[in-house]
Structure 1
Amino acid sequence: MTDSPIRTLTRRRVLPAGENGSLWETRPSCGIFGFRGMRLRFMVEDPSEILFPTDCGLSLLSALNDDHAPGLKGVNALDLGAGSGLYSVALLAAGAERVTALDINPASVAQTGANVMANGLDGTRLTCVISLLEEYTPETPFDLVITNPPHLPYDPSYATGNGLEAALVARRGGRAVYDSIVERMDTLLAPGGTLLMAHSSLADIPRTVAELTARGYESETLEIFEMDIPLLAYAEHKETMLTLLKKQRAAGRAEFDGSRFTVHALMFRRPGGATGR
């Protein structure tokens, strides 16, 4: 991966309130996004099982469109929590040598493959794996790991057990997957490798940064996005979820204002040998 220059000011992009999917050109089940000079088409065939990517997930790709973003060509990458394959498509289109799409949802495999093929990309460079993160060990560590973890707090009243819940909701106040990523990163990422993460302010960004920094990782904020809390899928339980989030905020583990929060596009570098191509 190529080094990025040190930034003195992190760009903040404020998305309009109430405009669902404002980073997409079209929605809700088919979208087009521009990425590094390419126009990539993206769809979800069964929105009840696979979440069509929200602005939270797309924000990381928007940050990676920046001139100072890291190089992606030639990397061996892990799309962690691949869902419908948003990051897998973008990485392969940008010239990644190989991409492994990891998800616990079996529906992710078919949808990721379909989106890769729909964009005319080489499907032989894609490997899909259905597994819990805690049970997955790669044959060789990756140059790059990219992820948008679930970040909404769990409550039994709106637990569904389907693919949408896996994409949005996590136990331990929305921290469960973030915690697993921190614990597993030395296994997943090669020395000198890069972790790219869309991190919600609802799930304690300072904690993730502090824990990876303690492990020797260097961190950088590529861009900050302000947007609406994704409550559309949980309209019936909006007040329950907001009550949980307010408790998290009171404990210093979440930051939001009314129905607005931020997503930080973060880059972490593992110390060790360079993996640049």
Structure 2
Amino acid sequence: MLAAALRQETLRPGAEVLDVGTGSGALAVAAARHGAGRVTAVDAALAAVLTTRLNAWFAGHRGQVRAYRGDLLRPVAGHRFDLIMANPPYVPCAAPVPPRGGRARAWDAGPDGRAVLDRLCAQAPTLLAPDGVLLLVHSGLCDPVRTVELLAGAGLKAAVTDRRSIPFGPVLRRRAPWLEAQGLTAPGQDKEELVVVRAQRPA
């Protein structure tokens, strides 16, 4: 969904793009192919950073894509970007604090699924250049309306621009009884809605 949203954006020559929580670097490489001047990719996992560098090299974009390890937006504090993309952890979980390591770090995000989303909504607007765009994907289980409201409150023009219903994956299937007990899903619900939120800073 983020790759499709990226393809809808027109990047100015030399555009600076940030991919937050890059994982394999697939979106970072897609941004380079789409015409970004430079792509900065950030992830908390060293394996993800190394994988992104390797995938950029294989794709012929080693000079365009730079990958850094660090907590969310900390490695790029003070920089400005024309486009920021983020596919953060957003799955609600019983633990009040997201894990600091292990595979679950890629999806667990506190009881309401917003432990990382709220930080992104607070910090990302300060990194957008004038007319810059934030593209953010997350589950409908963790309140897209709140995401839009927070970004609008930071001075951005924000809206949900894409929605897609998909079957629960393995994590949500295992967690289905807990999600229902928390009132996050309806009885017997086995699908979730994914949304893309687009937010733009005024020129």
Matched-pair contact (CA < 8 Å) for 1:77–1:145: yes
TM-score (norm 1): 0.65
Which residue is equivalent to 1:104? Answer: 44
> 1:189 Cα shift?
1.6
The one-letter code of the counterpart of 1:100 is: T
> Following superposition of structure 1 onto structure 2, how do residues 1-277 of structure 1 map, counting pairs within 5 Å?
59-65=1-7, 69-72=8-11, 74-121=14-61, 123-133=62-72, 135-155=74-94, 162-230=101-169, 232-233=170-171, 238=174, 241-248=175-182, 250=183, 258-271=189-202, 273=203
Which blocks of at least 5 consecutive residues in structure 1 are unaligned? 1-58
> 1:270 Cα shift?
1.4
> 1:71 Cα shift?
1.2
Matched-pair contact (CA < 8 Å) for 1:134–1:180: no
> How big is the alpha-carbon RMSD for the aligned residues of Structure 1 and Structure 2?
2.5
Matched-pair contact (CA < 8 Å) for 1:202–1:255: no
Q: 1 CA distance for matches of 2:192 and 2:93?
A: 18
Matched-pair contact (CA < 8 Å) for 2:17–2:84: yes
TM-score (norm 2): 0.86
Q: 2 CA distance for matches of 1:85 and 1:94?
A: 14
Query: Which has the larger Rg?
Result: 1
Quick one: structure 1 residues 191 and 63, their matched pair in 2 at CA, closer, same or farther if it must change by over 3 Å? Answer: closer
How many residues were matched structurally? 200
Q: 2 CA distance for matches of 1:97 and 1:86?
A: 16
Matched-pair contact (CA < 8 Å) for 2:161–2:197: yes
Q: 2 CA distance for matches of 1:107 and 1:246?
A: 34
> 1:162 Cα shift?
4.0
The one-letter code of the counterpart of 1:246 is: E
What secondary structure, in the 3-state scheme, does the structure 2 residue paired with 1:225 have?
Answer: strand
The one-letter code of the counterpart of 1:259 is: D
What secondary structure, in the 3-state scheme, does the structure 2 residue paired with 1:175 have?
Answer: coil
The one-letter code of the counterpart of 2:40 is: T
Matched-pair contact (CA < 8 Å) for 1:151–1:175: yes
Quick one: structure 1 residues 217 and 244, their matched pair in 2 at CA, closer, same or farther if it must change by over 3 Å? Answer: farther
